[in-house]
Amino acid sequence: MKAAVWFRKSLVILVSVLTFGLVTPSDLAWLAEADSLKDTKKGIVEEEGLAYLPSQDSTELEEEFNREEFLSDILNKAEENAFMKFGDKINPKIGDEFKMVILPKMEEAITEMAAQFPDEKLRQLTITEQPSAGRAEKIFHIYDSNSGKDIIRFHVRQENPPLEGHWFDFHYHTYHDSFATHYNIGKIYWDKNTPPEWTSKQKLS
């Protein structure tokens, strides 16, 4: 910094001598001040530009996560999986009762689960695409798409207590206790006869 000042003073003296006083030190000072002001303005513009561009890029690149929309998509898929599992043979008989009694409690459990996760973790969760067929219990699982580990599992079990006929027992398990606890959602009565297998289709006549 001191060398720059010394060089500028030497340059002023040299110019004054060479021009025989036609260019005075005050003229040179005015020109230097103008150049300095121009550089300062240029620096401000560049700095503002640098400050603006990253924020614009981040706005364009960052996808805003909407928790309500995410939950709505999960709940819609959960309902789809349930009716897919019921199939054409079971759905006509229990579909309405499921929507009125079981589905609201299922949605409540999913909402409570989602409340345990911040947005950055919740957005990693997804739902399985296919329910289990036959006599298997799985309706759907919600899992972490990064690790592949289940978070909550929704199942329905076919039960036949003595002299009570056949029932569908809806319940869920969570990762908190390695899916050991059976959390009841509700039961729907079927009939005295054995129900069809899950995902069974009506035969076309």
pLDDT given for residue 101 in this prediction? 97
Statement to judge: residues 48 and 118 lie in one domain: no
CA pair distance 25, 31, nearest whole angstrom: 10
Considering the domain architecture, whether residues 183 and 119 belong to the same structural domain is answered as: yes
Instruction: Identify whether 27 is part of a domain.
Output: yes
Q: What is the pLDDT of residues 45-104, one digit of tens each?
A: 444 444 444 444 444 434 688 999 999 999 999 999 999 999 999 999 999 999 999 999
Task: Name every residue whose Cβ is closer than 8 Å to that of residue 131 and which is 6 or more positions away in sequence.
Answer: 81, 82, 84, 85, 138, 139, 140, 198, 199
Instruction: Note the pTM of the prediction, 2 decimals.
Output: 0.69
Q: 174: domain range?
A: 67-191
pLDDT tops 90 at residue 146:
yes
Count structural domains, the chain.
2
Do residues 155 and 139 lie in contact, with contact meaning Cβ atoms separated by under 8 Å?
yes
Q: Where are the beta strands (DSSP E) in the chain?
A: 125-127, 138-144, 150-159, 166-174, 183-191
Same domain, 90 and 180: yes
What is the mean pLDDT of the segment spanning 135-164?
97
Q: Are residues 82 and 174 in the same domain?
A: yes
Which of 31, 61, 91 is the endpoint of a domain? 61
Give a yes or no: residue 197 inside a domain.
no
Q: Two tokens at 149?
A: 């580990």
